[in-house]
Amino acid sequence: MQFRTPCHVSKNSHLDYNSNVLLIGSCFTENIGAKLNYYKFNTLQNPFGILFHPMAIRYAIDQIISNDWVKAEELICYNDLWLSLNHHSCFNHEDQTTVLKRINLQIEKAHLYLKKSTHLIITLGTAWTYKYQDTNQFVANCHKIPQINFTKTILEVAEIYNCLHEMILNLKAFNPDLRILFTVSPVRHLKDGMIENTRSKSHLLTAIHQLSSKNVQYFPSYEIMMDDLRDYRFYKKDMIHPNDTAIDYIWHLFRESFFAEETQAIMTEVDQIQKGLNHKPSHQNSKQHQLFEKKLQKKIEDLSQRQPSIQF
C-alpha cells in the first residue's frame, strides 16, 4: 500500500561547481543557501536581507542592477535606530553612517556578483504587502513600527505577473545568460490568517506559472511540503516553519533535480571533508588523530586541485 503522495521533480542538471548562484527572497532562501554553502558552491545570499513579497524583491533587483546606492534622506529613525524600509532589520544601527555603509556595500557587491551570476534563485513568501503611508510606497520590512503607519493589501495575480515579468526583462538585459529559478516558500504566514495565507500562496503560484513561457524554471518547495510531507511532524514547534527533516528532504529533491551525477559525487567528497573538519577528537595530540588530520588535509588538497573553486 502507498501511504504517501510523493512529489516528482524534473531533471535539470545544470548547477555545478562552475556556477555562481545569487539567492534572494524569504527565509526559506536561507535554508537552501545554507546547504549550497555547506557543499562549497559559489553563492551570494540575500544582499538586502530576508525579503518576502514580489514588490520588495523587484525593488532590490532593480537597485542591484543599477548599482543605485541608498542616500541618507531615504533612511528613517525609529526607537533610536536608523533603518531602511526596503531592507531587513539586520542592517539597523544607532549610527546612520554605519547603516548606509552596510547597505551600499551589499548593493555594490551584489551588482558585481549578479553580472557574473549563472543562476538566480528567487523564493517568494507572500502576496501580502505593506505601503508606508508617508510615501505611499511598498516596504520590505515594517521594523515593528506601529501598523497604523502602513496600509496592508494583497497583490492580485496580474500585479505579481507584471512585476515579475518586468523584473525578468531587466535581468536578461543586464545578464543575458542568467538562468532564473522561482520557488514558493513552504513557510506558512498564519499571522495573516489561515484563509489569507492560502489565498496569498495561490496568487504567487498562479503568477509564477503564467511566467513559464518566459524562460524561467520552477521548483516545487511549497508542493513538496504541503502534498508530499503533509504531516505536522515535519514542522518546528511553531507549526509554521519546516523542521530540519523537512528541509533535508526538500534539499534532497533539489539536489536530484539540479545536479548531475558527476557534481553529486563531488558533493559527497565535500560532505566527507566537512564532517572530518567538524570532528572533535577525544585526544587532540594522539598519533591516531595526527594521522587522521594528515589524511584529511590530503583529501582537501586533492579536491582543490581538481576543483579550484572549492575552498575550505
Residue 1 forms part of a structural domain: no
Query: Is the predicted pLDDT of residue 7 greater than 90, yes or no?
Result: no
Distance CA 240, CA 147 (A): 22
Q: What is the pTM of this model?
A: 0.94
Is the domain of 107 the same as that of 134?
yes
Residues 230-252 have a mean pLDDT of 95
User: Among 5-14, 37-46, 138-147, 269-278, which stretch is predicted with the lowest mean pLDDT?
Assistant: 5-14
159 shares its domain with 303 = no
Same domain assignment for residues 228 and 267: no
Considering the domain boundaries, does residue 242 fall inside one? Answer: yes
Whether 165 is in a domain gets the answer yes
Could you tell me if residue 289 is inside a domain?
yes
Rounded Cα gap, residues 134 and 145, in angstroms: 13
Same domain, 247 and 274: no
Q: Are residues 178 and 277 in the same domain?
A: no
Tell me whether residue 176 is in a domain: yes
Q: Which domain holds residue 269?
A: 261-312
Instruction: For residues 245 and 282, state if they share a domain.
Output: no
* One domain for residues 122 and 210: yes
Split into its structural domains, the chain has a count of 2
Nearest to 55 by CA among 151, 164, 183: 164
| 239 and 304 belong to one structural domain | no
How confident is residue 291, by pLDDT bands cut at 50, 70 and 90?
confident
Please, which pLDDT band fits residue 21 given cuts at 50, 70 and 90?
very high
Tell whether 100 and 184 lie within a shared domain: yes
Q: Are residues 96 and 175 in the same domain?
A: yes
- pLDDT exceeds cutoff 90 at 287: no
Judge if 143 and 290 occupy the same domain: no
Band of residue 312 on the pLDDT scale cut at 50, 70, 90: confident
- Asked whether residue 234 is domain-assigned, the answer is yes
pLDDT for the residue 3? 78
CATH code, 86: 3.40.50.1110
Please give the torsion angle defined by the CA atoms of residues 96, 99, 105 and 106, in that order, rounded to the nearest 10 degrees. Answer: -150
pLDDT value, residue 214: 66
